[in-house]
Structure 1
């Protein structure tokens, strides 16, 4: 019922084509308790974002430049005026490396001595402002989203409102190539006694694949708005072993690792003893063709990921399976307004990705039927469809869409509500029965108790929360009767081809840290496994499912304290697998919960090519 974006394919033929194409390379350089990243575009243009301290430049930046044969940097971007970011620039220039353009935040409230930096860059110095775009060539660009608290598009958060003003003035950059996006933002702050620049800049920065955790993983950066909006799969922290600041802090680690999109967090050095993430002990290279990206370096094996904008590849003609979009609540008999104004249906998305409802159908089993327009149903979120979308007339409902006049009615007796995707796949069906088994209230919505369970009468109840003009319900929000278990994402990273190597990554969140789990393969999702409570695992109970849980190492295991687990898997090198599709899901175990279920794991699709 809960289905992650189906797994994107890196197949043999495509891999060969990619290898022949130019790629964008981002070297996150190991420089101890400092920060520096070298960007090399598909056309060979170079941009150094920060240059670490003088010592870090000597031990990290200069050796990398030498190994790559780089003696001239087309661009240098200094995010802010702290020596662990600019101190290496005089060292790099002093070693004979030329600089084309040196970008910085300008002269606003500079309180430290930066004369050696100014002398090193000389006339190459240029002030960066929100909206500055550096064209790196080959389609790669680097855009200034925020600087000195000013955000592209006009937003502003005063850097002086708190401590660490210089950090708050950091330049925040968005690197783009094809569908790959990365955020590099120096020591940008997000509250906790500092100016909250992150929350203002987050909507403009938008979704990214990789983010560098600002200020070396400090508790004053990486706030919840930033993490949730950027929704990165991979995080990078530049910090030094035994650093006196305790970086990375547990608050930043917990915030980032708690996001369901996260697959891994790479620490260039271990830094503090706070747990979480993977230590690289070296420079981390991100190499992308704009559709996939491979991370490698230090102690980690090369691993390929898919950019999250590529889009889903679904089972058969439909990108959806039953339960992806469900009826989570409906009001068929309002009290404070007439039925003609006050009827509405709430839909919920049980997957980890937004769904465009364009072409979806809301219908009953008689003649009522309406086709939905382009409405985005947020991941794990809700939309409200109504007979009247005017809150002044419909009882105070903020509806996302008003269905056509006389297109759909909710009977006060018995009726059906069915959701169908554009291919004709039925995703959910509610059949209520004039109170025989389903609730049949007046002035109260009917709520689904468990979004992960079947649409049985026992899974519905009468709302208990007031809204709008005085009826009871929770249109557009979590249900008052909600008992849904925590969501658990499942991702497959790597090559889904015979002989290919994959990594399955689960993220269940902190509340399930340390719990056991079971995952497995099946050839189909219908009929699914249904527990007595109605909770549903989208796998057919086939011999393959039982065998996979028994013989594949790691398919039965324990989540780490952050609720994360990764399982390596080698696809059998059997050409006969090509063209076959398999499905994955599973459960998190909790003996203290009903039926021993702590959570149901998202469904993922594996199409072998």
Structure 2
């Protein structure tokens, strides 16, 4: 074979390789890790909650599974992350928007330990969850304050709520967990409301955390000033569905968060939010690349097909796979996109 034919063959192989392997997955950025980091994935499950924690020692924890309607998306996410085993599965409380996807998780992955609060529900989804737990020969560990989940390999993982067994509101039975890794700390609060938050404050728990998973999707019944002042997070993550019927996040909660100068990140605006830390530094891994204007919510969304750009709260936004984000109107116009006639005047 002459040199020209060899060169041509190599070129064809290169093009073929780019075609087969060069297409970028919409969540490739989630796999950026060198093995010494802790990854926290606040999964976009719509109006619900689901948080995947990947520890440096290889163990994993899934806190909540979102609503049943997002089960397929949750399973796809976990499989894309190449999760094979979940060491700690936590259902913070028996509401469908938190445990709806957990039965499917139990069907698709090996689970080592299951934690639920001492609170039942007379619902089909709760019964389905119990059936899957039984099928997997797992025993439910009752999650309550004072229980240590793990203390090894530089990780301290504790439950600090619920602190009572006689709440009138199911949300206050929420399992609240705190994870500490070197100088990094994470507080995940489920739907814990004012009563539970104040109990944690009054009992003198060390609530200070770098990252707070905001309670009850940003409802005004959670995120009390007393609680937030003790947590004092650098980042506050709110998991919620776009244009949800509950009006989350509530104005009052947002105002209280703003008063403590925390950076608010929302799944309805950013999709799945991923935090990477080596125990000292914190990095947001979303494709927005920590752009300040985007993180503050000042951005526009373009439609790759129609070449039209919209305000982020427009009712005519394209599907996620067809979206492109612009920092300003000027940037969108420069890229050849035209403003949407109804949302941008």
What is the TM-score when the length of structure 2 is the normalising length?
0.70
- Tell me the CA shift for residue 148 of structure 1: 5.3
- Residue deviations 1:106-148 (CA, integer Å, cap 9, x gap): 2x4x343321111112242221221212227531232100125
Per-residue deviation at 1:20?
5.8
Write the distance in 2 (CA, Å) between the matches of 1:63 and 1:133.
30
Cα 1:121/1:148, change in 2 over 3 Å: farther
Could you say which structure has the greater relative contact order, defined with CA pairs below 8 angstroms and 6 or more residues apart? 2
- Give 1:57 shift: 2.5
**Paired position in structure 1 for 2:266:** 267
1:159 has 2:167 as partner:
yes
Find the aligned partners of 2:164 and 2:218 in 1 and give their Cα distance.
20
Question: Map of 1:506-517 to 2, 5 A cutoff?
Answer: none
Residue 145 of structure 2 contacts residue 163 of structure 2 at CA under 8 Å; is this kept in 1? no
Instruction: Give the equivalent residue in structure 2 for 1:112.
Output: 122
Task: Describe the SS at the equivalent of 1:118.
Answer: helix
Q: 1:289 aligns with which of 278, 284, 292?
A: 278
The change in CA–CA distance for 1:291 and 1:283 in structure 2 (over 3 A counts) is same
1:149 offset after TM fit, Å?
3.1
Moved over 3 A (4+): none
Partner of 1:129: 144
What is residue 197 of structure 1 aligned with on the other side? 196
Aligned pairs (5 A) from 1:91-240: 91-94=104-107, 96-106=108-118, 108=119, 110-113=120-123, 114-122=126-134, 123-124=137-138, 125-135=140-150, 137-147=152-162, 149=164, 159-160=167-168, 165-190=169-194, 196-202=195-201, 203-240=204-241
Residues in 1 aligned to 2:280 and 2:66: alpha-carbon distance in whole angstroms: 30
Distance 1:215 1:98 in 2: 28
Could you tell me the TM-score, scaled by structure 1's length? Answer: 0.40
In structure 2, stretches of 5+ residues that fail to align are: 1-32, 294-345
Report the equivalent of 2:243.
242
Higher strand share: 1
Contact 1:76 1:99 in 2 (8 A): yes
Map 1:235-384 → 2, pairs under 5 A: 235-260=236-261, 262=262, 264-269=263-268, 279-280=269-270, 282-297=271-286, 300-302=288-290
Count the aligned residue pairs.
Answer: 255
Cα separation, partners in 2 of 1:54 and 1:225, compared to 1, 3 Å: same
The Cα RMSD (Å) is 2.1
Which 5+ residue runs of structure 1 have no aligned equivalent?
Answer: 1-18, 151-157, 191-195, 270-278, 304-502, 505-609
Provide the residue aligned with 1:536 in structure 2: none
Q: Deviations over 1:485-527 (max 9, x none)?
A: xxxxxxxxxxxxxxxxxx79xxxxxxxxxxxxxxxxxxxxxxx
Q: What is the CA deviation profile of residues 48-97 of structure 1, one whole-angstrom value per residue up to 9, with x for unaligned ones?
A: 000111222212x2122111211221110110000111110112223x21
Larger Rg: 1
Cα deviation 1:23-45 (Å, max 9, x = unaligned): 11110000000100001100110
Asked if 2 retains the 8 angstrom alpha-carbon contact of 1:90 and 1:116, the reply is yes
Counterparts in 2 of 1:136 and 1:90: CA distance versus 1, 3 Å: farther
1:85 equivalenced with 2:98 (yes/no)? yes
Q: Deviations over 1:195-232 (max 9, x none)?
A: x2111213414211110111000010000001111011
Question: Whose helix proportion is higher, 1 or 2?
Answer: 2
Q: Is the 8 A contact 1:144 1:173 kept in 2?
A: yes
Alpha-carbon contact 1:189-1:197 (below 8 Å) kept: yes
